[in-house]
Amino acid sequence: MLNIDLIAPIATLIQRQAKSRPEQVAYWDSARSITYAQLADRTASIAASLTKAGLKEGDRIAIYLPNGVNWIEACFAALRAGAVVVPISFDAAEGEVSYRLTDADCGIVVTAGTRKDLLEKICRDAGISPTVIFAGPDADGAGVSMEDLAKAHGAASLDPADIDRSSFIIYTSGTTGRAKGVLLSIRGMLWISAACWAPIAELTSEDVILSPLPLFHSYGLNLSVLGVLAVGASEHIMERFSPQQALELLQTGKYSLMPGVPTMFHYLLLRAQEAGIERLRAMRLCISAGAIMPATLNKAFEERFKTRLLDGYGITETSTMVTMNWLHGGRPMGSCGLPIPGLAVRIVDPSSLEDVPFGEEGELIVRGPNLMHGYHNKRAETASALRKGWYHTGDLAKSDPSGYLTITGRIKELIIRGGQNIAPAEIEEVVVKYPQVRDCAVVGMRHATLGEVPCLFVVPKDEALDVPALLEHCRAHLSSYKIPESTHLVGEIPRTGSGKIMRFKLVEALSDQA
């Protein structure tokens, strides 16, 4: 059931695959590819160069790169040097990049030459001076390059054996506004490979994966980076998801598996229907996580393509997966599956913490070897989330008598837009700084394809509020997926006596308008 041999130090896994399948392509993108033998040599050389330059075990390295082989190489080299990896979205807004660099105290940033000027401005404004390493074809002349570090052939890398220390700080939006850095270990991350990807999805070295997942997300990092290495598979990394490009690639017959989020599968299905495509050639399996998969989408996808689309439930704080549907046997459509081996789950009454009966809704809490160590620099939030060894997800769920779980909602106020987490307070913090805004609040609004989108309620200082200009202000300070889908001008924001926003009243107002 558990493939325990997949849980090992990163250097051990790399050397194992380099010995077993040296000439097999491990990862490739539109610009370059790398075999397992090359991955072993280059990551060892880069790691040794980092150590020689003064990197110490436990230092933080930010990876601020687009999806691709360079991202993979930087990640594994950093881990082999004993560093803590801090992934940052290549499309993150200026303030988001600055916050992650300063909060995690990153001493090194690996980025692309196209971000040189922006990164210099961010560091200057934040008063920080990390070492910057450039990767990719536009790195020439920008400064120290990853190619420079890879030239130290034969140098010995540190290759730490401790897989239980925090090796990743992955930022996820929280309900309190600023993103929280989730501290995860290599053991916890690879537990998912050992307990889920290998035994449940039957991921092996024979698989060729097409991955559109963003690698800075825990889901992409876990499956598309670490999971591929653990089993010795091959993977084509898409820089970003395009339903047309994905469909064209899947028609080549090269690929056996594709992970994604529900929105991706929705658009893939729509494009296939438009093009009259009914099969995905050699595809044996698609995996969905990151947001709730509608039962209607799951059924329509499988009926059209005759390919299994397995839904699972995961969160960053549990190194991704908590539950998964199995490749073989039946399953109730709309369910996110059974708890993966090694995990204990309970559905409890949020107030009493007593277990609820089958079929009744309660809060899902989780315990297992894949739990986070906590939130970086956030003791109070850690203590609230981790209680007596259980992680309190804030998600509402119910279970049928066979143990299949269905996620029904959230206690938290988090908005999940196409698999992307959005904290209402993050948007509110930006909006309220606009000169014409007196007060504001953000709630999640149902969306047919994205699940939820942010909806903004604004109390203007006067009737002359320029809404398009306000949204431009948001675009300057927030990632594109956090921009409000709709804006409503109101006389006041409903609040409790202590000043907390009563978001349910705003949601009710949206329902009344529908």
Domain ranges of the chain: 187-358+397-411, 422-513
- pTM of this prediction? 0.86
Rounded Cα distance, 149 and 137, in Å: 15
Q: Residue 154 has what pLDDT?
A: 64
Query: Could you count the other beta carbons within 10 Å of the beta carbon of residue 418?
Result: 20
Q: Going by C-beta distance under 8 Å and a sequence separation of 6 or more, which residues neighbour residue 312? A: 196, 287, 288, 289, 321, 322, 323, 324, 325, 336, 337
Rounded Cα distance, 480 and 93, in Å: 8
Which CATH number among 3.40.50.2300, 2.40.50.140, 3.40.50.12780, 3.40.50.720 corresponds to the domain 187-358+397-411?
A: 3.40.50.12780
- Sequential pLDDT tens for the chain (514 residues): 789 999 999 999 999 999 999 999 999 999 999 999 999 999 999 999 999 988 999 999 999 999 999 999 999 999 999 999 999 999 998 999 999 999 999 999 999 999 999 999 999 999 999 999 999 877 666 678 999 999 876 678 999 999 999 999 999 864 445 789 999 999 999 999 999 999 999 999 999 999 999 999 999 999 999 999 999 999 999 999 999 999 999 999 999 999 999 889 989 999 999 999 999 989 999 999 987 788 889 999 999 999 999 999 999 999 999 999 999 888 999 899 999 999 999 999 988 999 999 999 899 999 999 999 999 999 999 999 999 999 999 888 999 999 999 988 777 777 888 888 787 878 988 898 899 998 889 999 889 889 899 999 999 987 789 999 999 999 999 999 999 999 999 998 887 554 567 787 888 887 766 5
- Show the tokens assigned to 283: 């595809």
The helix, strand and coil proportions of the chain, stated in percent and rounded to the nearest 5, come to 35, 25, 40
How far apart are the two ends of the chain, measured CA to CA in Å?
A: 49
Q: If you write DSSP's letter for every residue of 291-327 in order, what string do you get?
A: S---HHHHHHHHHHH--EEEEEEEEGGGTEEEEE--S
Q: Supply the angle between the helices 36-52 and 10-20 in degrees, to the nearest 10.
A: 150
- Strands 257-260 and 234-237 come out as unpaired
E-state strands within 370-465: 374-375, 386-387, 390-399, 405-410, 415-417, 420-422, 437-447, 451-460
Residue range 422-513 forms a domain whose CATH class is alpha beta
Cβ proximity of 262 and 294 under 8 Å: yes
Rounded Cα distance, 142 and 453, in Å: 38
Cβ proximity of 83 and 108 under 8 Å: yes
Provide the CA 434 distance to its chain's centre, in angstroms: 30
Please name the residue that has the structure tokens 């960053």: 316
Rounded Cα distance, 206 and 235, in Å: 11
